[in-house]
Structure 1
Amino acid sequence: MDEYDFLGDVAVAGSVDSFDRAITPFLSQAFHAKSLLAIHFHRTRLPKVLFRWIPDKTLRQLFDKRYEKLGFMVDPFFHRAFLVQDWEACLLRDIAPDRFESSEYFTNYFGDTNMVDELGFVARIDNDTAVHLSMGRNQGQRRFRTNDVVRFGQFAKILAPKLRQILINQPADDVVEAQPLDRRFHAMAQARHTNISIREAEVAALIVQGHSSRAIGLKLGISGLTVKVHRRTLYKKLSISSQNELFGLLVNYVGADA
């Protein structure tokens, strides 16, 4: 398929399925991607996977098992989606927290799936919803380069508004409420008969997303030293000693709560 046919198919797409059929074959080949997916985000509800093309069985199973349940809450694209006013095309590494690649989520998900890079866009629909489309590359492939980002950004000028328009015109599905990450930590601690403060829960949420103490301080408007105090107190209350264990408690709690 050439670029003109691709853009023509996108222009006439009137549903998520026809949009999927229009873009997946072209983008996966043009960008040498090993996965492609689109997700409808909501601030306080579980996300809806609109479509996903993941030929690798292991990657597909891990995505299906982990993403909608918990993974989206530590996905930098999810958080970025509610910061942009219109739409934005970007690399995962350019929007991720400063310690993201040393986080347990990165090790747990990207390590197990052999993904090495992700390029996509986020587009706001309204105050509470957004849509995300991304492509991934796996081990053995190079990361996306600047020319890939530029070219994808050119396509996104058409793809982002089109997908947003389709979702605006699509009837709303039944939705499932989802607790924000800090409230999940607070509930998890209570389930363990441990009382942590709201601030400690906020710090816990930012730790597992991959933020350093300095970055957490900037986000919460407190000093890095105060963040470290909250971290030590949090770990002591939960009887843990590392970010890995903190993430593990969350995973176990979400699994038990599912």
Structure 2
Amino acid sequence: MMTPTTPKLRLLEQWSRAVADIAAAQRGPSFVPALLASVKRLVDFDFVMVFAYAGTARPLTLADTLDAQRHGIIAEDYADGPFLLDPFFRLVEEGRRTGCYRLHDIAPDHFRRSEYFRIHYGRTGIGEEIGVFFDIGGGLTGVTSFGRWDSSPPITRADLDLLRALEPAIGALCAAHWSNLHARREPPQPRTAQPSLASLTLREREIITMVLRGHSTESIAMQLGISPGTVKIHRKNIYRKLKVSTQAELFAAFLGHPPDAYSPRDMAEAPQIPQHRRKSR
């Protein structure tokens, strides 16, 4: 007589098969697609991106499942400088090497109003991301980002809990796949401050970064231990020194790019993202 299959047993069976598929793809070009397909056995995502960070040097784009046009906009443009404003990068800066974090849980209070959000998310159709951190070694921290387009259902607490349960295995598999990366890459070149920011004090540079990351005046004041009025004075001085009047111009000055370097028109020729919303499971 066959033993009835319980939900827990079915879940374990699916993940066991998934790990077998990922392990079979280790060190090969199909590793990341296999990783996404395996995770989708348990929780649905539309795409995956993997970056490696070493201080403020330009991050390495290790792999992704994006089409060529979105790869250029989401991965390459991001690595050119906007990554400095990324909530995932901020956690790496703070010393996180492992863990599983949902973007909207770690983002600043005014993140969706920030220029970074408009540039990196508003023009690409990314809805939500969950980042799995792993230690590659040699000063490199990897982040495997599982994402959904904004036309897909939102990530639920159950989705997050499930991915957090898988995080130790995902992190270990990714770390093993890229374990010798630090031994065969060029030493990272630290990113130098933009000449346009030379007139700013260290505190003003700190505040401009927090503004562009999406912190409100109140959030900046609380984190820096100063009054909201003092934050406003600093912001006024920053805008005056940089000769800018909008956050878009401030963003461009921070990165050293022309003000119109990033435009929603960049996505005009990109493949269309389906606009129907998939039914929640």
> What TM bracket, shorter-length normalisation?
0.7 to 0.9
Contact 2:54/2:188 (CA < 8 Å) preserved in 1?
no
- Amino acid paired to 1:92: L
RMSD, aligned CA: 2.7
- 1:138 CA displacement: 1.1
- 1:252 CA displacement: 4.5
Cα 1:58/1:125, change in 2 over 3 Å: closer
* SS of 2:189 mapped into structure 1: coil
Q: Which residue of 2 aligns with 1:77?
A: 88
> Structure 1, residues 18-47: CA drift from partner, whole Å, max 9, x if none?
642531222356433222111111113211
How is 1:217-256 mapped onto 2 (pairs within 5 angstroms)? Answer: 217-253=221-257
Q: Which residue of 2 aligns with 1:107?
A: 118
- Amino acid paired to 1:199: R
Contact 1:37/1:135 (CA < 8 Å) preserved in 2?
yes
Any gaps of 5 or more consecutive residues in structure 1? none
- Amino acid paired to 2:74: F
* SS of 1:113 mapped into structure 2: coil
Cα 1:21/1:202, change in 2 over 3 Å: same
Instruction: Indicate which of 5, 12, 20 corresponds to 2:32.
Output: 20
- 2: distance between equivalents of 1:218 and 1:129? 31
Instruction: Indicate which of 102, 113, 120 corresponds to 1:91.
Output: 102
The answer as to 2:64 corresponding to 1:52 is yes
Cα 1:216/1:134, change in 2 over 3 Å: same
Q: Which residue of 2 aligns with 1:188?
A: 196
Cα 1:189/1:241, change in 2 over 3 Å: same
Q: Which residue of 1 aligns with 2:216?
A: 212
Q: Which residue of 2 aligns with 1:123?
A: 134
- 2: distance between equivalents of 1:131 and 1:120? 10
- 1:213 CA displacement: 2.0
* SS of 2:58 mapped into structure 1: coil
- 2: distance between equivalents of 1:58 and 1:168? 29
- Amino acid paired to 1:49: T
Instruction: Indicate which of 168, 184, 202 corresponds to 1:198.
Output: 202
- Amino acid paired to 2:197: A
Contact 1:84/1:124 (CA < 8 Å) preserved in 2?
no
Contact 2:33/2:65 (CA < 8 Å) preserved in 1?
no
Cα 1:201/1:133, change in 2 over 3 Å: same
* SS of 1:97 mapped into structure 2: coil
Contact 1:115/1:137 (CA < 8 Å) preserved in 2?
yes
Counting matched residue pairs gives 246
* SS of 1:253 mapped into structure 2: coil
Contact 1:28/1:135 (CA < 8 Å) preserved in 2?
no
- Amino acid paired to 1:38: V
Q: Give 1 or 2: higher helix fraction.
A: 1
Cα 1:251/1:86, change in 2 over 3 Å: closer
- 1:242 CA displacement: 2.8
Contact 1:103/1:208 (CA < 8 Å) preserved in 2?
yes
- Amino acid paired to 1:93: H
Cα 1:72/1:231, change in 2 over 3 Å: same
- Amino acid paired to 1:173: R
Contact 1:91/1:119 (CA < 8 Å) preserved in 2?
yes
Contact 2:32/2:65 (CA < 8 Å) preserved in 1?
no
- Amino acid paired to 2:240: K
Identical positions, percent: 24
Instruction: Indicate which of 39, 49, 58 corresponds to 1:37.
Output: 49
* SS of 1:241 mapped into structure 2: coil
Contact 1:75/1:209 (CA < 8 Å) preserved in 2?
yes
Give the TM-score, by structure 2 length.
0.77
- 1: distance between equivalents of 2:138 and 2:87? 18
Cα 1:215/1:129, change in 2 over 3 Å: farther
* SS of 2:79 mapped into structure 1: coil
Structure with the greater alpha carbon radius of gyration: 2
